[in-house]
Chain A
Amino acid sequence: MASSLGGVAAPAEGRSGDARVGRIRISLWIVVALGVVLPLLAAPALTENLSFSFYLMLWIILCTSFNLVAGFTGYMPFGYVAFYGVGAYATGVLHKTYGLPMPGALVCAALAGAAVSLLLAPTLRLKGVYFGIVSLALAVIFRLVVSMLPEDITGGSMGLILARANDPQTTYYVTVAVLAACLAAAGWLAFSRTGVALRAVRDDADAAAIVGIDVTRTRLKAWVLAATFPAVVGGLEAWYTNAIDPEASFNILVTAKVIVYSMAGGLGTLLGPVLGAGALYGIDHLIWQKFPVLNLMFLGIIIMVMILVFPRGLVGSFAQRFPLLRRYIP
């Protein structure tokens, strides 16, 4: 070991080893992303029942983007479903009421999600419990406002039927593309310097400012990105099921499931939410078919057990158990 004031360059083998660590981590993420996207792309050729794979993609996208705000910046938005609902309604209203073609409506949904996130950006000044409560309240406000809008635009509390748009095959492939984009965006964010800045802000906002990080702008980047994808997903779901209504589009259970899936996998890692969504959506799907009401109960119990017993999730617990492998986990 060099003395503190003498030779100070990094040992060559340390340097090349550390560069390799970074490369391995990125490659692993690419492998995981391809491993998720390619089978889903092939699914229509293999099976008639696309519903399961469609919703699987939906949850992976929701959890991955939720992780950008909850895992990388440390906020817990209980009203996350608001972005999803806004996207569903933007798509539904623009398509049905104003006759915009579906692709255009989806792009507008993404823009609407981003716009709403900018509108709500001031809430990022709030901390902890206050942020959670306000976020939840905002989701309820959105639902109330949407159901109070004129019926000839949004269909009121009955919602809208988009029968004309019915094209599950196309919807499916568009969703695969959105999934790929989401995984790529999350990877870009996590491996870029913005990713380091984000986690610094999450760990200690004052310290982050001290080292020159613009805390507000850094948070905003993640926040907007984390709001855009659920808005698109809301639109995709509206397109797929051909129906929207305020209760379903702003259902707090969407937030609940997103939280459970991503926490189970492990917030703060890229791998965690994907793994959590894949595993738990599968289980959820099986239970849901047999006992719809008990399913809710299990969801609640899983949240409690999760937080009390292993709050860092599958991937987080693995990393704690094997600290030497930790540096390779994307």
Chain B
Amino acid sequence: MLRVTDLTKTFGGLKALGGVSLHIPEKRVLGLLGMNGSGKTTLLNCINGLYEPSSGDIQLQGTSLLGLPTHKIAARGVGRTFQVPKLFPRMTLLENLAAPFTTGDASDAEVYERSAEWLNRVELYRLRHNYAEELSGGQQKLVELARMMVAQPKLVLLDEPFAGVNPSLALLIIRLIEAMPERDGCSVLLVSHDLTSVYQLSHNIVVLHEGRVLAEGGAAEIRSNPDVIEAYLGA
């Protein structure tokens, strides 16, 4: 589904990504671990076109995404959430979820049905006429997730989906992510600090350290990898 090859990104003299390669197969969850400043968010920003990579390639289903503007990458089926949710604060939840359809040709009824369905799945249907700014931080994360999923993406990039969310909402988010590959048919790139949920949700895990891939493999391998232990506990 997504193949990133030898990607680098420098800001001025600072190397944020120093040659990262990774691959997400269809309907699989790839967990991305790393400390603050290891380049996780930079990688996501490169994939959906917010940053222009300095070198390397990003391919979605075999075609390169390089040079495409963010909205075209979104139209190819790449969804994204942010660590601090980026909603449209002075629009209602229904309008927030209608925003992805402003360019497509879905009928009004269809847009409403799909928005309502996703608002139901994140258990916020009753707040559909509220402005996004009136919701709590955790609820905003759910709305952002719904706004992303309502467009039926092929690949979603989740940036710290559990950060600042209370345990019961976090449980709901875990269940939603769990369902993404099979039920919603999309691949997931999951960035998180929360080791437990990354181990639980991911089919495969990549650990970034100072802009490079430090380790790669299944949960058990990563857990026992000496380099990872060193980087996480030693530094």
Contact = CB atoms under 8 A, between A and B. Distances in A.
Interface of A: 1-2, 4-5, 7-11, 14-15, 18-19, 21, 193-194, 196-197, 199-200, 202-204, 206-215, 268, 323, 326-327
Q: How large is the interface on B (under 10, 10 to 19, 20 to 34, 35 or more residues)?
A: 35 or more
A18 B90 contact: no
Interface string B122-140: 1101101110000000000
Nearest to B144: A207
Nearest to A208: B99
B99 A200 contact: yes
Contacts of B94: 18
Given A10-B125, A203-B91, A211 B100 contact: yes
A323 B92 CA distance: 11
B116 A9 contact: yes
A102 B69 CA distance: 44
A9 B112 contact: no
Contacts of A8: 117-118, 120-121
B175 A4 contact: yes
17 contacts: A1-B125, A4-B120, A4-B121, A9-B117, A9-B120, A193-B98, A196-B98, A199-B88, A200-B88, A206-B50, A208-B88, A209-B49, A210-B86, A211-B100, A212-B103, A215-B71, A327-B92
Contact of B80 (A2, A5, A210): A210
Interface of B: 48-50, 69-71, 74-75, 79-80, 82, 86-92, 94-96, 98-103, 112-113, 116-118, 120-123, 125-126, 128-130, 147-148, 151, 172, 175-176, 179, 183
Nearest to A22: B108
Query: Which 7 pairs of residues, A with B, have the shortest CB-CB distance?
Result: A10-B116, A212-B74, A209-B70, A203-B88, A207-B86, A197-B102, A193-B102
A193 B71 CA distance: 16
Contacts of B130: 323
Contact of A194 (B102, B113, B123, B126): B102
A10 B113 contact: yes
Given A204-B88, A210-B48, A215-B71, A9 B113 contact: yes
Given A15-B116, A211-B74, A211-B147, 12 more contacts: A1-B120, A4-B121, A5-B183, A9-B117, A15-B112, A200-B91, A200-B96, A203-B89, A204-B88, A206-B50, A208-B71, A214-B69
Residue of B69, B87, B103, B179 contacting most chain A CB atoms (<10 Å): B103
A199 B74 contact: no
Nearest to A201: B88
B196 to A, nearest CB: 20
Contacts of A215: 71
Contacts, number: 123
A245 B121 CA distance: 62
Nearest to A192: B102
A123 B179 CA distance: 45
Nearest to A319: B131
A326 B95 CA distance: 14
Contacts of B91: 196, 199-200, 203
Contacts of A204: 86-89
A268 B88 CA distance: 14
Given A10-B116, A197-B102, A1 B86 contact: no
Contacts of A193: 98, 101-103
A193 B97 CA distance: 12
Contacts of B75: 212
Contacts of A323: 130
Residue of B88, B89, B147 contacting most chain A CB atoms (<10 Å): B88
Residue of B91, B151, B172 contacting most chain A CB atoms (<10 Å): B91
